Structure 1
């Protein structure tokens, strides 16, 4: 997918917070791909575009991911399309491949990292330490909307939880300006 096509797709997303979330998931997916020896561009674009249909499907969650697949089918490889559909368990599509599982885990982790940044004194991701992220992961009362079980899916692709948290945090710190954090 070239930059022009990418720009066209991203024009479908008007919510600034959603764009930042998509950028965060892209960064984590690139970090994961690098660590796992996978295709960083494929994993990155999958992370970036995984929520392209969110604004259209927010009132019909079982369609989220399926509409993205319809939009992107002619532009992305089938493995990316499958991962995008599988990242939302409400579609009924099981996360089976490393890419599928990585996307589900990265999607959830991005929310936890943002929540950690927002409780820092200056609300900056640079202030978040790995030890803080680990502690907040264990605290059930913190960021209750973040599904810790999805984050723990990292173990199914050969990563210990601590390593995955570190990859996610470093990846998001590397684009902190784009995230406004």
Structure 2
């Protein structure tokens, strides 16, 4: 399955534009980290793009999230590592995150939400105005609705600093959504 085919499958299943936009943001971040770790950019990108393909179908039942996604994408001609990565993102399933790809998806998924939250707090909601400092200041908050700060803290498993993790994630989002509102 190529990226365009995956995107079409995603659009069939996601009706909410913010969820679709989040999937695109996570795809961009995963690709950036694949380059950083000299890994397969296409595979990492597909994992990011498809990680929430089931989110509308499993809304209200978080225990099914990611398992249903895996069931959906098992029907695609797709690398098994993507299926595993998507399964491992949900703590309910206690699937070990073994590879860097699994660990990046787990931590960066919520960091993209936090960066969007930071953009939404700005007068023009402009992503290009978000700075690493703004993001770091908000990581210490534990009461931001829908953002699991504990997931973000797993950046430590990637052998990089928190600042590097934030900068890579923010840069990927800004490159792909420059001068746009998140």
The equivalent of 2:31 in structure 1 is: 30
User: Once the two structures are superposed, what CA deviation does each residue of 1:148-169 show, in whole Å capped at 9, x if it has no partner?
Assistant: 2211212212221110000111
Query: Structure 1: any 5+ residue segments left out of the alignment?
Result: none
Q: CA deviation at 1:68?
A: 1.0
User: Once the two structures are superposed, what CA deviation does each residue of 1:3-42 show, in whole Å capped at 9, x if it has no partner?
Assistant: 2353134311111111011011111111111111111111
For 2:145 and 2:9, the matched residues in 1 are separated by 34
Which structure has more helix as a fraction of its residues? 1
Is residue 20–residue 178 contact of structure 1 (8 Å, CA) maintained in 2? no
SS of residue paired to 2:53:
coil
User: Once the two structures are superposed, what CA deviation does each residue of 1:104-156 show, in whole Å capped at 9, x if it has no partner?
Assistant: 11111011000000001211011111111111222345x25422221121221
Is residue 57–residue 63 contact of structure 1 (8 Å, CA) maintained in 2? yes
Give the 5 Å matches for 1:126-145.
126-141=128-143, 143-145=144-146
Q: Is the alpha carbon distance of 1:140 and 1:76 closer, same or farther for their aligned partners in structure 2, counting shifts above 3 Å?
A: same
For 1:179 and 1:91, the matched residues in 2 are separated by 35
The equivalent of 1:45 in structure 2 is: 46
Aligned residues: 180
User: Once the two structures are superposed, what CA deviation does each residue of 1:46-82 show, in whole Å capped at 9, x if it has no partner?
Assistant: 0000000111111221111111111111422111101
Q: CA deviation at 1:179?
A: 6.3
Q: Is the alpha carbon distance of 1:28 and 1:116 closer, same or farther for their aligned partners in structure 2, counting shifts above 3 Å?
A: same
Is residue 128–residue 179 contact of structure 2 (8 Å, CA) maintained in 1? no
Query: Structure 2: any 5+ residue segments left out of the alignment?
Result: none
CA RMSD of aligned residues (A): 1.8
Give the 5 Å matches for 1:116-127.
116-127=118-129
The equivalent of 1:55 in structure 2 is: 56
The equivalent of 2:168 in structure 1 is: 167
Q: Is the alpha carbon distance of 1:6 and 1:125 closer, same or farther for their aligned partners in structure 2, counting shifts above 3 Å?
A: closer
For 2:6 and 2:167, the matched residues in 1 are separated by 32
